């Protein structure tokens, strides 16, 4: 399994008495990620301790999704990095 992990790190700052910090794991392949997810969902060890796996699309993808939703709603979003300034000025 360690060979299937490209990168891993914890999020946020450690707080005394706080909840455990989430861990972000980047897998080397989608197949590795899905196999890990499948095994985690069936793991008595993880389930009994309240661990869960969630997918995180990242800030860049979330930003694109937000821009697409704004565009579909007819709102203007000038922060879209895919639109050059000249194109914005023409509209």
Closest CA to 56 of 19, 8, 21, 24: 24
Q: What residues contact 76, with CB distance under 8 A and at least 6 apart?
A: 70, 91
Residue-averaged pLDDT of the chain: 73
Decide which of 17 and 82 is more confident. Answer: 17
Q: How high is the pLDDT of residue 44?
A: 92
Q: How high is the pLDDT of residue 18?
A: 82
Measure the CA–CA gap between 57 and 80, rounded to whole angstroms.
Answer: 18
Which runs of E-coded beta strand occur in 1-91?
5-10, 23-27
Could you report the per-residue pLDDT of 21-39, keeping only the tens digit for each?
A: 888 888 888 898 889 889 8
Work out the average pLDDT over 54-77.
57
Sorted by where each begins, the domain ranges of the chain are 1-56, 57-91
Please state, as a whole number, how many other Cβ atoms lie within 10 Å of the Cβ of residue 65: 11
Whether 77 shows a pLDDT value over 50: the answer reads: no
């Amino acid at each position: 399994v360690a060979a299937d992990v490209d990168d891993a790190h914890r999020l946020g700052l450690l707080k005394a008495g706080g909840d455990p910090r989430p861990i972000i794991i980047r897998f080397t392949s989608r197949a590795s990620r899905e196999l890990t997810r499948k095994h985690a969902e069936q793991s008595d060890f993880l389930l009994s301790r309240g661990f869960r796996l969630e997918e995180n699309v990242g800030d860049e993808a979330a930003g694109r999704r937000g821009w697409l939703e704004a565009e579909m709603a007819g709102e203007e979003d000038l922060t879209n990095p895919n639109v050059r300034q000249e194109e914005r000025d023409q509209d």
